[in-house]
């Protein structure tokens, strides 16, 4: 750091906490500063325009009321900085309107909404205290939710509150990844303070202590944090300054997920299944290949089933005489047989095609009336393997006692049934048997996962031959997930 810029850096370090933009310390401290307009030309930046004040006039001496800087705002005027945040939120309206264009596929639009819109505004939550950013977060969250409803064709006037909450959960918790910024803004702000703590000078201004206290009041229940006066000293150790935002955000996610649990076995089984490997891959698949693409109808139907909504508007009871419930199309004796067979055959064709083009000896078996013939016969490492593919619904009454309390409980039960069924045939043919079971959420059973990992290390031909095993396994699992989602109508 040059001697000419050192006094400036010390001045900024002492004033930035009160100016409300602590994360600026990270680029300032890590850069060898020479006099430049970016770092030394703060007086050249115009004050923020605000509807509460006339347009600013150029001035040679800075007032530090409020300044636009690196995508956020610094200054002592909280009203102008809050106004800046609200205008930033409203500026995303064009993006949300574009994502609703009728020519944009629903899969692409939702993927862009989830991975592009949210991070754009999250930076502002890290750099402004919740007292200044929460109103803007509310505006942004509402626009994002309405955009998601338009993409998925959801009617919020009749949508249950549980479904709206599920949209806000991350994918790994069974949601759609559209986290509400009003829930994570306090965690983001405290996380940025903790990351910048090693660079801060003590004592902190009273305004910063108030911002820390105010942010803590919005956190979800959980382990207590250091008091506002001890927060920065505690996190000035590098070992404790990392990962705070993620820990606090996970706490908020767990709190939201617990609010969805109505303690019914079907609800517990549904969300437990959605949290397993493979259940969310169709939502994160980038449609760069035909096997990763979903039509608008397939994408929206899969989304409705994930939300436990009927896949289409039902005005009359089912032909079987029962009323339609979220699980009825998957359990009805009149509806499920045809759809299950179609999904089974498409998944089996995809799996066989992958094995064949990857250099494995794979043969499809004809379906027998007695059901005593496996779906595939393989040769793996010179040994014969029998494979039977099956799809099970964790909310089916016969599986609920196990699937409501154990991960992949329905898949495990079906695997056990399949092993008993084919044990004699496997013994006669001196072959191994693999039950390849998927749950209706898209979750992949343990035996199926082991087989995918095994074959991914032995691909000898095809376009995937030069990829590392992890990439091959990810490709096959994602392709199966997308194919499965496309067959849920």
pLDDT tens digits, one per residue of 156-194? 888 888 899 999 999 999 999 999 999 999 999 999 999
pLDDT tens digits, one per residue of 193-233? 998 888 888 888 888 889 899 999 888 888 888 899 888 88
Q: Looking at the domain assignment, is residue 401 inside a domain?
A: yes
The candidate with the shortest Cα–Cα distance to 81, out of 135, 139, 14, is: 135
Q: Looking at the domain assignment, is residue 191 inside a domain?
A: no
> Are 182 and 329 spatial neighbours (Cβ–Cβ below 8 Å)?
no
> Are 145 and 167 spatial neighbours (Cβ–Cβ below 8 Å)?
yes
Its domain, for residue 361, covers 328-486
pLDDT at residue 56, rounded to an integer: 41
pLDDT at residue 186, rounded to an integer: 93
Q: List, as one string, the DSSP characters of 313-353.
A: ---S--TTSPPP-TTHHHH-TTTHHHHHHHHHHHHHHHHHH
Q: Looking at the domain assignment, is residue 243 inside a domain?
A: no
Structure tokens, 143? 């626009």
pLDDT at residue 190, rounded to an integer: 92
Measured distance CA(124)–CA(121) in Å, rounded: 6
Q: Looking at the domain assignment, is residue 85 inside a domain?
A: no
In this prediction, residues 135-146 reach a mean pLDDT of: 94
pLDDT at residue 399, rounded to an integer: 86
In this prediction, residues 408-429 reach a mean pLDDT of: 92
Enclosing H/E stretch for 363: strand 361-364
The candidate with the shortest Cα–Cα distance to 197, out of 85, 38, 29, is: 29
> Are 200 and 192 spatial neighbours (Cβ–Cβ below 8 Å)?
no
Tell me the backbone φ, ψ of residue 389, rounded to 5 degrees.
-95, 140
Question: Final residue of a domain: which of 76, 93, 123?
Answer: 76
> Are 181 and 219 spatial neighbours (Cβ–Cβ below 8 Å)?
no
Q: Looking at the domain assignment, is residue 419 inside a domain?
A: yes
> What average pLDDT is seen over the chain?
80
pTM attached to this predicted model: 0.80
Q: Looking at the domain assignment, is residue 108 inside a domain?
A: no
Residue 446 has pLDDT above 70, yes or no: yes
Domain count, the chain: 2
Residue 21 has pLDDT above 70, yes or no: no
More confident of the two residues 267 and 176: 176
In this prediction, residues 276-302 reach a mean pLDDT of: 92
Indicate the Cα dihedral angle 413, 418, 421, 423, nearest 10°.
-110
Tell me the backbone φ, ψ of residue 189, rounded to 5 degrees.
-65, -45
pLDDT at residue 308, rounded to an integer: 87
Question: Final residue of a domain: which of 59, 76, 93?
Answer: 76
Q: Is residue 412 packed enough to be buried (19+ CB in 10 Å), middle (13-18) or exposed (0-12)? A: buried
| Residues above pLDDT 90, as percent of the chain | 40
Sign of the torsion formed by the C-alpha atoms of 197, 199, 203 and 208: negative
Range list of H helices, 361-445: 400-403, 409-428
Structure tokens, 279? 């259940």
Q: Looking at the domain assignment, is residue 316 inside a domain?
A: no
- Look up tokens 């109103």; give the residue: 135
Residue 479 has pLDDT above 90, yes or no: yes
Question: Final residue of a domain: which of 76, 105, 130?
Answer: 76
Q: Looking at the domain assignment, is residue 270 inside a domain?
A: no
């Amino acid at each position: 750091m040059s001697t000419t810029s050192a006094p400036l850096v010390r001045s900024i370090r002492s004033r930035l906490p009160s100016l409300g933009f602590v994360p600026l310390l990270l680029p300032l401290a890590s850069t060898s500063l020479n006099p430049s307009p970016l770092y030394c030309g703060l007086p050249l930046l115009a004050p923020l325009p605000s509807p509460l004040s006339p347009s600013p006039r150029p001035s040679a001496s800075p007032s530090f009321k409020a300044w636009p800087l690196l995508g956020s705002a610094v200054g002592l005027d909280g009203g102008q900085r809050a106004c800046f945040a609200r205008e930033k939120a409203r500026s995303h309206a064009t993006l949300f309107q574009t994502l609703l264009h009728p020519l944009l596929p629903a899969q692409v639009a939702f993927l862009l909404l989830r991975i592009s819109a949210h991070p754009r505004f999250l930076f502002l939550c890290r750099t402004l205290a919740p007292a200044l950013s929460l109103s803007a977060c509310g505006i942004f969250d509402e626009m994002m939710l309405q955009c998601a409803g338009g993409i998925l064709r959801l009617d919020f006037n009749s949508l249950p509150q549980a479904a709206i909450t599920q949209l806000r959960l991350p994918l790994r918790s069974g949601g759609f990844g559209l986290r509400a910024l009003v829930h994570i803004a306090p965690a983001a702000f405290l996380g940025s303070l903790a990351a910048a703590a090693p660079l801060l000078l003590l004592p902190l201004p009273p305004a910063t202590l108030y911002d820390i206290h105010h942010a803590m009041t919005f956190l979800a229940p959980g382990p207590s944090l250091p008091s506002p006066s001890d927060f920065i000293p505690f996190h000035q150790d590098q070992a404790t300054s990392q990962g705070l935002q993620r820990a606090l955000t996970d706490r908020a996610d767990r709190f939201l997920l617990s609010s969805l649990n109505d303690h019914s076995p079907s609800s517990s089984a549904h969300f437990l299944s959605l949290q397993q490997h493979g259940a969310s891959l169709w939502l994160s698949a980038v449609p760069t290949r035909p096997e990763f693409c979903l039509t608008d109808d397939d994408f929206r139907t899969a989304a409705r089933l994930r939300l436990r909504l009927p896949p289409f508007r039902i005005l009359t009871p089912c032909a079987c005489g029962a009323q339609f419930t979220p699980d009825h199309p998957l359990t009805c004796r009149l509806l499920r047989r045809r759809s299950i067979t179609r999904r089974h055959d498409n998944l089996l064709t995809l799996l066989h095609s992958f094995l064949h083009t990857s250099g494995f000896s794979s043969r499809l078996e004809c379906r027998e009336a007695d059901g005593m013939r496996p779906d595939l016969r393989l040769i793996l490492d010179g040994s014969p393997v029998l494979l039977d593919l099956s799809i099970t619904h964790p909310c089916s009454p016969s599986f609920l006692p196990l699937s409501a309390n154990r991960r992949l409980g329905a898949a495990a039960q079906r695997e056990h049934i399949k092993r008993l069924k084919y044990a004699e045939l496997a013994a006669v043919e001196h072959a191994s048997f693999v039950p390849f079971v998927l749950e209706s959420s898209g979750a992949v059973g343990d035996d199926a996962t082991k087989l995918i990992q095994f074959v991914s290390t032995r691909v000898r031909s095809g376009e995937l031959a030069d990829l590392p095993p992890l990439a091959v396994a990810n490709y096959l699992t994602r392709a199966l997930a997308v194919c499965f989602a496309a067959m849920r109508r």
